[in-house]
Structure 1
């Protein structure tokens, strides 16, 4: 996939040309993936993996185009080989992208190439150029909504930071919720060695957080804040992501247990939800019934989210109240619903999720 994206930008001029070429690439790949799912040739999980691979490829191509531009600005003969990485978090890291998903990413830099007068400015131009390609609106459209606010010190900090700064931040100042996010991260593009060095360097602080007696309380507090942020529109019956019992309950169960048991099992540095749950079951952190319920409930709600976004062209996670709005979505989910109404099935699963959260995160 990355090779196809890179081929698209080979003969383009500047960042604008690269962005236009990648918009065409992404639109065609997303359209083909959606058609395959609706035709029954792929399930929603396969579609999510495909869309995530497309996003990874766009990140790789954006880094390549922006690196070439930054190198020209320094008078270098060739683009840098390595030195900057994109760390994926959230759905991109878990390879669970669907239509209208944001990309949660961080930029990490290493040593500057020889001949660069000001490494800080060089990497800033490089990362900012990649962000322009990935997120700016142009006559060709735009690629993704990109969120880089999970970086050290948040939105007010520089877009890109050195590996050393990341390691110092996680060792000294990062909060528990930031380790929750970090547990589900992976390299998306660029210099993989930088990401591996980060993963190795944060093992000790991550294990320390897992031993913190206040871990469960901190996770529950953050969960409550997310639920309180919901504003249900008057046309919607319920919200199935951040509301109590929504997808986030299951994600927080996994993240809580990943941190709690990380000191004894470093495999739990795992972005894939299904694999993380399987590891937690294997080490005895989850019972067989809990594992089965979590996995099945997660698949169902992710399927509802994927189909809802595909049918309604929206990024929200609400079930509509009116039957005429709900009927097409129910029809597309008939096999998964097994005769139940979508509202009833979703409410039952959300109650199950809330029970699991209360049992486990304590």
Structure 2
């Protein structure tokens, strides 16, 4: 126990902050299965369902969900710290936890609202879904990831106006439940700006309006974001299927390749202006970092999805693999991009665990450096930085090839 505590405080400040906010998390270390294989999504669902079944007060249910979330994220952090699970497995596990939390929170908010709101009985037959984009959409969550989500509902029927009013209220209550800061902390930070219309659009969007928006109004960047979208919580599996079909239809549309490239480059320039950095450890925004990798993958996907629908993958690696299969990428280029994606993703997962802000500098504390060196299986911090700069230079080369039409 003391050794683990020393590792956390010396190497993983972000995990240490979590522990200082809730010292009771250490109790979980004493459980027999804490250091075993991380539970599957089905096991997580069963744990939550069993507990909520015997808890009847709404506020107590939400307290349990926040505690459960803290416990599982702490367990994942320790597994990463101790190299008991790969960064990729940690990303999938954190995504599973988020999905279970969102499904349960949606159900509890829905039940609380319909039970206490006059006229809400109409919602008993109204399909609703939470659409995830970004890190959760791609099942690549890291410590501190927020949730990029969109709320969708079915407005079919004679009471569309009444349903719209209720949906707006439920969506707002759901956001409040997820982001409420309590003694146990909050579940997640939430970003809903990727919904149709952005911050000016309704918080909950009808599927009809969603479909119409992407048929006529959406920008290229919004299609790029949509390429990672998937339903993570719903009260209707059939509605989730309809949502997925509509998304696939919009992603697979034929596109003007020149306009797609121009729009992508314009968005990349804007991001560089908003988040300027030359720090190689700023893995997301530095040139050659995660934004460039994701933009290359999303541009390839949108450019070729009409002819090669199997390229529609939510992970950049999946896109690169299929692109190489269809000879849209050379074998060398695909291997270069896949290697860079794995390296940067693994390093980002470790950085988010070790540094609350995510990015570090060359003069980071020695304990943090040791964590990164050990986690990335390099001999020294200098060797790690050399490898990082190598991969970022490769990504910059690939991005430039795309810019001039050679990729």
Q: Give me the TM-score of the superposition, normalised by structure 2.
A: 0.80
User: Where does 1:41-60 land on structure 2 (aligned, <5 Å)?
Assistant: 41-60=84-103
**Out of 257, 265, 271, which is 2:308 matched to?**
265
Give 1:33 shift. 1.6
User: Where does 1:237-256 land on structure 2 (aligned, <5 Å)?
Assistant: 238-256=281-299
1:321 to 1:38, Cα distance in 2 relative to 1, 3 A: closer
Moved more, 215-224 or 250-259: 215-224
**Per-residue CA distance 1:284-330 (angstroms, 9 max, x = gap):** 21221111111111111111111111122x143x2313153563344
**Out of 73, 76, 93, which is 1:30 matched to?**
73
**Out of 163, 172, 181, which is 2:207 matched to?**
163
Moved more, 263-272 or 55-64: 263-272
Aligned match of 2:10 = none
Give 1:184 shift. 1.1
1:283 to 1:10, Cα distance in 2 relative to 1, 3 A: same
Q: Using the alignment, how far apart are the partners of 1:61 and 1:112 within structure 2?
A: 25
Give secondary structure in 1 for the equivalent of 2:360: strand
Q: Using the alignment, how far apart are the partners of 1:296 and 1:226 within structure 2?
A: 24
Cα pair 1:85 1:189 within 8 Å, conserved: yes
**Out of 232, 237, 242, which is 1:188 matched to?**
232
Aligned match of 1:227 = 272
User: Where does 1:126-145 land on structure 2 (aligned, <5 Å)?
Assistant: 126-145=170-189
Moved more, 244-253 or 123-132: 123-132
The yes-or-no answer on 1:85 pairing with 2:135 is no
User: Where does 1:96-175 land on structure 2 (aligned, <5 Å)?
Assistant: 96-111=140-155, 118-175=162-219
The yes-or-no answer on 1:321 pairing with 2:365 is no
Give 1:208 shift. 4.0
Q: Using the alignment, how far apart are the partners of 2:101 and 2:221 within structure 1?
A: 28
**Per-residue CA distance 1:72-130 (angstroms, 9 max, x = gap):** 11466798366110111011011100110011110000148999982112112222222
Moved more, 62-71 or 195-204: 195-204
Alignment RMSD, CA only?
Answer: 2.7
Q: Using the alignment, how far apart are the partners of 1:169 and 1:117 within structure 2?
A: 19
User: Where does 1:206-217 land on structure 2 (aligned, <5 Å)?
Assistant: 206-208=251-253, 210-217=255-262
Cα pair 1:171 1:202 within 8 Å, conserved: no
**Per-residue CA distance 1:32-91 (angstroms, 9 max, x = gap):** 222222233211100110000000001101110111022111466798366110111011
Cα pair 1:85 1:192 within 8 Å, conserved: no
**Out of 310, 322, 332, which is 2:374 matched to?**
332
Moved more, 269-278 or 249-258: 269-278
**Per-residue CA distance 1:256-292 (angstroms, 9 max, x = gap):** 0000001112233321332222222222212211111
1:129 to 1:17, Cα distance in 2 relative to 1, 3 A: farther
Q: Using the alignment, how far apart are the partners of 2:56 and 2:157 within structure 1?
A: 23
Q: Count matched residues.
A: 358
Q: Using the alignment, how far apart are the partners of 2:385 and 2:134 within structure 1?
A: 26
**Per-residue CA distance 1:167-200 (angstroms, 9 max, x = gap):** 0000010000000001111111113433432343
Aligned match of 2:104 = 61
1:110 to 1:6, Cα distance in 2 relative to 1, 3 A: farther
**Per-residue CA distance 1:198-246 (angstroms, 9 max, x = gap):** 343355543446335311111111112112222559xx66422111101
**Out of 369, 390, 393, which is 1:351 matched to?**
393
Q: Using the alignment, how far apart are the partners of 2:396 and 2:249 within structure 1?
A: 31
Cα pair 2:333 2:398 within 8 Å, conserved: yes
Give 1:9 shift. 3.2
